[in-house]
Amino acid sequence: MPGTVQSIERAAAVLRLLAAAPDGLGVADLGNALGLAKTTVHGIVRTLHQVGFVEQDHSGAHYHLSDAFGRLGESYLDPNELRSRAINWADSLASRSGEVVRVGRLVEGKVEVVHHVFRPDDSDQDLDVGTTLPPHATALGKAVLAYDTSARPRSLEAYTTRTITDPVQLSEELATVRSRGWATEFEEHTVELASIAAPIRGLGGLVVGAVGLAGRIERICDSRLRHRGDLVSMVRATADAIARDLREDP
Amino acid sequence: MAEQYVAAVDQGTNSTRCILFDRRGRLVSVAQREHHQLFPRPGWVEHDAGEIWNNVTRVVPAAIKQIGATPSQIVAIGIANQRETSLLWDRVTGRPIGRAVTWQDTRTDRLVTELAGSEGPDRFAQLCGLPLTTYFSAPRIRWLLDHTPGLRQRAERGEILFGTMESWLIWNFTGGANGGLHATDVTNASRTMLMNIETLEWDDRLLEAFDVPRAILPEIRPSSGVFATATEVLPGVRIGAALGDQQAALFGQTCFSAGEAKCTYGTGSFLLLHTGQEIVRSKHGMLTTVAYQIGDQPASYALEGSMAVTGSLVQWFRDGLGMIHTAAEIETLARTVEDNGGAYIVPAFSGLFAPHWRSEARGVIAGLTGYITKGHLARAVLEATGFQTLEVVDAMNADSGIALTALKVDGGMTANNLLMQFLADLLDVPVVRPMVTETVSLGAAYAAGLAVGYWPDLEGLRSNWHRAGQWMPHMDPARRATEYANWQAAVQRTFNWIRPEDQEP
């Protein structure tokens, strides 16, 4: 049996104290109340601040519970924040791969496009930010669906003859995504198109969205119709870069 | 052979960044450090130049390390910098004298009014292309020399050096007090009010008018051309370019021909229109400025519309009012309502810049009613940037006689889709975002890479430009007209707020 985690116990104690103090508390107050060294308490409140559970007042001297604490079921990352963190890396992926790049997140069982970068060939293209994609028929969707613990989409609509419509097959596919860390799609949404995507992990490993590219199969896949390894590496590196950006300074 | 890169150092208002670009103009790594904004008195905004140089020494190695490269893979350094921010330092010790006085600082309010005298703010416009305002460097140098005991005598003896931030960086990259190069480029020099816009040299009439000793001024060089070889941070790497950040962005957007324009949305926002080798004098509040000079070729010029407060209004909404946690959240909040509800925010925090140039104006929130929620205010904050752009575009169209057909945009605020759509709606032209939104750094990299032969010519750079996003106009013309009229009425209400007797001594 693994033991309990002391720092989580202490964090819980800090949260209880803050919840009971409408004017907020300083690090010294918390340390005195819990019989802990100031540096220990400081580490705990800083972490809680980083994950968004506590806020600092204007002077920086006092901490109090943030309103996010009461809305834990909601997405912790604002979609517009995700876009602004992703934009440089998504641009870079589009220019390196030569393909359309999208960043998406799961909203009410669908993938909402948070950011869209045109294919860099200066052809006519329309921004589709704010539109939704079916999660079971796109790589972007599978990359977020694989880590979603809420209910799976009940009706799996077929977009092409290759769309996965069998829930068991979809579960297997998502297990593959989890085991290798990236997702693919081959003519499952639109004939002659394929896509690759990877999850973006925020603080604590929470998947906050996915980034991926899509294009014609002859460009996305090799001669044996397998998704090109160099593109997979680029997509994964992009997801990691965005994740690093998200974790560095919240 | 290992891949080679150009390192762009963007010394900005809030942070210093190093970005590496590859031969196709693609961003490969970024390192950034913020520096402190110091507000010692109302209206004063300062930076610690020592802190800024220290940040340069950290971000450059960090950007190289991020991709596992080595300094030998860097072929050139290109510098872009916050413009007009002025610093004096000691030639012998290399140490700053006091702090850098930033472009937002309004301490020279009264001095500027005095200097304008009966001839008005356009007294020097024929010589330097700029109106007298607190924005530019010369009044700041004068103020520092007047207010620091003994400094003027030391300056006249040649013990003091003046520079904008690129000069400070070049000086330090090349050894500082140990033989550092004291140089600036034509774009930065064109923002001092001391350079003659036609000859591209320091002008004695301007030096005399501002009472600035020639001995403190750096040598003026072309923007793109090898300044020197660095001895610090990246020893052996050539400094290939220096440009003011907005000119760098114009270059990064590959606006190399007359008639091409871009607008960069950051703390402030700046629309620059390339006017070729012609010096266009504005009748509508635009600035005449040098766009760039490549080696010994003739300089290219630009008309500029400067908006002082755009992204910084969002920062104020976040930090001053606490309405949002992060700047990006403003879009989420703004989308909770359909429109501005009749509210307009005119952010004349330190007066109004282009096209009004009213230093006595102060901000207003107009049209407040009980109906207004924070969602409406969030919209009004974003729309303020749109309306200010429209004012500038109107003025630019009138000056150049050519109507804008599309607007190339870049900068952090282009991540805001609501704002970009509003811009397209208001301007009634497509708004286009390029693949690299970091055009300030890209422009510095391009100019430096050209100087060392990493890129052959401008056409090669042009082929690197690609469209990453585009917003098309949809707004009903009647609504556009009403909204603009409301905004203009709100702007009128900011005028004449500061009266001469209110000004700080």
User: A22-38, pLDDT tens digit by residue?
Assistant: 888 888 888 888 888 88
pLDDT interval class at A250 (50, 70, 90): very low
Contact check, Cβ <8 Å, A92/B28: yes
Instruction: Assess A96–B contact: CB distance below 8 Å, yes or no.
Output: yes
- Mean of the per-residue pLDDT values for chain B? 92
For the cut 80, the answer to whether the pLDDT of residue B31 exceeds it is yes
pLDDT digits (tens, 9 = 90+) for A159-174: 999 999 999 999 999 9
Structure tokens at B219: 């040598």
- Mark yes or no for CB contact B417/A129 under 8 Å: yes
* Euclidean distance between CA atoms B473 and B427, whole angstroms: 8
Q: Do A120 and B416 touch (CB under 8 A)?
A: no
Residue B146, number of CB atoms within 10 A of its CB: 11
Task: Report the pLDDT value the prediction gives residue B503, as an integer from 0 to 100.
Answer: 52
Query: CB distance from A125 to chain B under 8 Å?
Result: yes
Nearest to B471 among A80, A91, A127 (CB): A127
Enter the ipTM: 0.81
pLDDT digits (tens, 9 = 90+) for B274-300: 988 889 888 888 989 999 999 999 999
Calculate the alpha carbon distances from A215 to A96, A120, A139, A188, A196 in Å.
Answer: 13, 12, 12, 13, 9
Give residue A24's pLDDT: 85
Residue B311: its chain A contacts at CB < 8 A? none
Question: Percentage of residues in chain B with pLDDT exceeding 90?
Answer: 71
Is B117 labeled as ligand-binding?
Answer: no
User: How much is the pLDDT for B27?
Assistant: 86
Which of residues 104 through 123 in chain A touch B, CB cutoff 8 A? 116-118, 120-122
Return the DSSP state at A209.
Answer: E
Terminal alpha carbon distance of chain B: 62
- pLDDT value at residue A240: 94
Structure token pair of residue B465: 């430009």
pLDDT in tens, B431-466: 999 987 789 999 999 999 999 999 999 988 998 888
The chain B residue lying nearest A66, using CA atoms, is: B325
- Model pLDDT for residues B181-233, shown as the tens digit of each residue: 999 999 999 999 999 999 999 999 999 999 999 999 999 999 999 999 999 99
Of the given ranges (A66-75, B217-226, B336-345, B395-404), which has the lowest mean pLDDT?
A66-75
How high does pLDDT run on average in chain A?
A: 88
Q: Give the pTM.
A: 0.84
Find the closest chain B residue to A84 by CA distance: B415
Residue A239, sorted as left (phi over 0), alpha (psi -120 to 50) or beta, turns out to be: alpha
pLDDT tens sequence across B119-134: 888 899 899 989 898 8
Looking at per-residue pLDDT, the higher value among A55 and B251 belongs to B251
Q: What span, in angstroms and rounded, lies between the C-alpha atoms of B92 and B160? A: 8
Pick from A84, A122, A126: which is nearest to B415 by CB?
A84
Distance from CA of B145 to the nearest CA of A (A): 35
Q: Does A80 contact B328 at a Cβ distance shorter than 8 Å?
A: yes
Among A50, A84, A93, most B C-beta atoms within 10 A, so best to mutate, is A84
- Bridge-partner residues for A194, per DSSP? A186, A215
Question: Using CA atoms, how far apart are residues A180 and A193, in angstroms rounded to an integer?
Answer: 22
Known binder of ligand: residue B350? no
Nearest CA in chain B to A94: B435
Determine, for residues A88 and B28 on separate chains, whether the beta-carbon distance falls below 8 Å: no
Give the right CATH number for A79-247 from 3.30.465.10, 2.60.40.10, 3.30.450.40, 3.20.20.450: 3.30.450.40
Q: Are A198 and A236 in contact (CB under 8 A)?
A: yes
Dig out the tokens for B82 from the structure.
């916050």
pLDDT for B398: 86
Residue B353: is its pLDDT beyond 90?
no
Residues of A in Cβ contact (< 8 Å) with B468: 91, 94, 117-118, 120
**Domain segments of chain A as ranges:** 6-71, 79-247
If pLDDT is split at 50, 70 and 90, which confidence band does B501 have? low
* Cα A209 to Cα A138: distance, rounded to the nearest angstrom: 13
CB contact under 8 A, A127 and B28: no
B13 labeled part of a ligand binding site = yes
Largest CA distance in chain A: 67
**Per-residue burial over B109-124, b = 16 or more CB atoms within 10 Å of its CB, e = otherwise:** bbbbbebbeeeebeeb
Question: Under a CB-based contact definition with an 8 Å cutoff, are residues B47 and B37 in contact?
Answer: yes
B260 vs B265 pLDDT, higher one: B265
Å between A4 CA and nearest CA of chain B:
33
Q: Which residues pair with B300 in a beta bridge?
A: B292
User: What is the arithmetic mean of pLDDT over B146-175?
Assistant: 94
**Is some CB atom of chain B closer than 8 A to the CB atom of A141?**
no
Q: Do B27 and A91 touch (CB under 8 A)?
A: yes
Identity of the amino acid at A191: V
Instruction: Using a CB–CB cutoff of 8 Å, tell me whether A83 touches chain B.
Output: yes
- Interchain CB distance below 8 Å, B30 and A88: yes
Q: Which pLDDT does position A1 carry in this prediction?
A: 60
| Residue B135, annotated as binding a ligand | yes
Q: Quickly state the pLDDT bin for A4 (edges 50, 70, 90).
A: confident
The top-level CATH class assigned to A6-71 is: mainly alpha
The H-or-E segment that residue B303 falls in is strand B300-307
pLDDT score recorded for residue B21: 94
A101, A116 contact by CB (below 8 A): yes
Model confidence pLDDT, tens digit, residues A50-64: 887 888 877 777 888
Q: Is the pLDDT at B505 greater than 50, yes or no?
A: no
Is B405 annotated for ligand binding? no
- For chain B, how many residues are written? 505
Give the pair of three-digit tokens for residue B42. 């109302």
SS3 A153: coil
Mean pLDDT of A132-142: 94
Could you tell me which of B224, B367, B223, B238 has the C-alpha nearest to residue B289?
B223
